[in-house]
Amino acid sequence: MTKESILNFSQAKAEPTWLQERRLTALAKIDQLELPKIERVKFHRWNLGDGTIEENNYSGAVPDFTALGDNPKLVQVGTQTVLEQMPPELAQQGVVFTDFYSALAEQPQLIEKYFGSALKFDEDKLAAYHTAYFNSAAFLYIPDNVEIEQAIEGIFYQDSDSPVAFNKHILIIAGRNSKLTYLERFETIGSGHQPTSANISVEVIALAGSQVKFSAIDRLGNNLTTYISRRGRHDNDAVIDWALGVMNEGNVVADFDSDLIGEGSQAHLKVVAASSGRQVQGIDTRVTNYGRNSVGHILQHGVILERGTLTFNGIGHIIKGAKGADAQQESRVLMLSDQARSDANPILLIDENEVTAGHAASIGQVDPEDMYYLMSRGLDRETAERLVIRGFLGTVITEIPVKDVRDEMIAVLDTKLDKR
């Protein structure tokens, strides 16, 4: 019945034969593969997929988009696309930002070539599950030598009133020597608390010489158990500057990876995370240096409130042959409760000589002297604590290249703190 439901869905969407076959091959692999290994996070009993594939018809109030401006954007609620906006001058240059099935009609060869090239479907059980069961997707393509000054926005809402799994695929292709800024939001809307799962895969294909500034703010609700993978594939001299805010309410395991395939390629990953309540979040941030003179830097800061749990695994791997590579990482966690739990695990795997690598990690509570100083100046405990948190996360947030994203991330953090 599962195979039949996948075939029915695929045929209803008029998917090409190669994609239909990919889904079925991935389905057959699921039981043969292991779950991804995320050190010190016990998620093996979580519900990360119920083996169904279907669409959901959202009937609630659609968020107001009138204040979003005229920059390129795509807005989806569940499996439905509710807004596409592309300035005519960018469309004339060949820029495409649309839902996956419209893109299959416009750019079938590009999608067939690059779909699944950053995250192979047989890498692990959750990757195979995603390939078999993803039920909605988006596609962004920037042609060679096109530079876009405006931020491109992808806004993806999960409907909390629907039991349909939120299985989303985002494919971004930055052409040779292109330049773009992309802002991604995942957010839960609706008044319900229907428990379900999310399996999200974001692939960024950065072709030679391209420059991508990728920012994301994740605000999925406590009704969701989520696995999210963001993967970058870098060709020669390609650069992806990642700035990721993990501000969800439910349990989350995340995998943020950059594969530095090309010579001189670079990845800069900046991650801010906050855990609260009894929430568990496990985040793997990995850079693998394959290319000579490639550079991969990881900077992660997180805060934990109440009985929350947050684990940062920073992994730098320099492959044999990557001479001149540079792998650096820093992971720091601030605990605001005696009942909070955290790990910050630096992992360096070095298979080559003539390289540079280093790491730093720390876990601690708010310094009582900092609190005493602020409160002695007339601030109440809550305000003083908020300032300490902002200062701690500010070293990462200030590295985010888009001011609007910095401001929004601070606002989201304040909202999370207000819920305590």
Predicted confidence at residue 254, as pLDDT, reads 97
pLDDT at residue number 68: 63
Least confident of 65-69, 81-85, 328-332: 65-69
Q: What pLDDT, on the 0 to 100 scale, is given for residue 398?
A: 82
Report the mean per-residue pLDDT for the chain: 93
For tokens 């948190």, what's the residue?
389
Tell me what the mean pLDDT of segment 91-120 comes to: 96
pLDDT of residue 35: 96
Supply the pLDDT for residue 397.
83
Q: Mean pLDDT throughout 72-85?
A: 94
pLDDT at 132 over 80: yes
The total number of residues shown for the chain amounts to 420
> Where are the chain's structural domains?
2-366
Question: If you write DSSP's letter for every residue of 90-117 in order, what string do you get?
Answer: HHHTT-EEEEHHHHHHH-HHHHHHHTTS
Q: What percent of the residues of the chain are helix, what percent strand, and what percent coil, each to the nearest 5?
A: 25, 40, 35
**Is the model's pLDDT at 66 over the cut of 70?**
no
Q: In the prediction, which pLDDT does 174 show?
A: 98
What pLDDT does 406 receive?
A: 83
Contacts 24+ apart (CB under 8 A), 64-73: 68/153, 71/150, 71/151, 71/152, 71/153, 72/97, 72/148, 72/150, 72/152, 72/153, 73/97, 73/152, 73/153, 73/154, 73/155
Give 130's strand partners: none
Q: Is the pLDDT of residue 289 over 90?
A: yes
Distance, in Å, from the CA atom of 114 to the CA atom of 172, rounded to the nearest integer, reads: 9
Taking the C-alpha atoms of residue 164 and residue 160, their distance in angstroms, rounded to an integer, is 9
Task: Judge whether residue 3 has pLDDT over 80.
Answer: yes
Reported as type and span, the H/E element at residue 384 is helix 381-397
134-148, 201-215, 305-319, 397-411: which has the minimum mean pLDDT?
A: 397-411
Compute the average pLDDT of residues 327-347.
Answer: 92
pLDDT of residue 296: 98
Quick one: which of 155, 207, 148 has its CA closest to 181? 148
- pLDDT > 90? residue 407: no
pLDDT at 411: 85
CB contact at 8 A, 135 and 54: yes
Query: Can you tell me the mean pLDDT for 12-18?
Result: 96
- pLDDT of 67 reads 59
CA-closest candidate to residue 318, choices 354, 282, 344: 354
pLDDT band at 62 (very low <50, low <70, confident <90, very high): confident
> Cα–Cα distance between 338 and 332 in angstroms, integer?
17
Using DSSP's 3-state secondary structure scheme, residue 179 falls into: strand
Give the integer Cα–Cα distance in Å for 295 and 267.
6
If you average pLDDT over residues 302-312, what whole number do you get? 93
Q: What is the pLDDT of residue 1?
A: 61
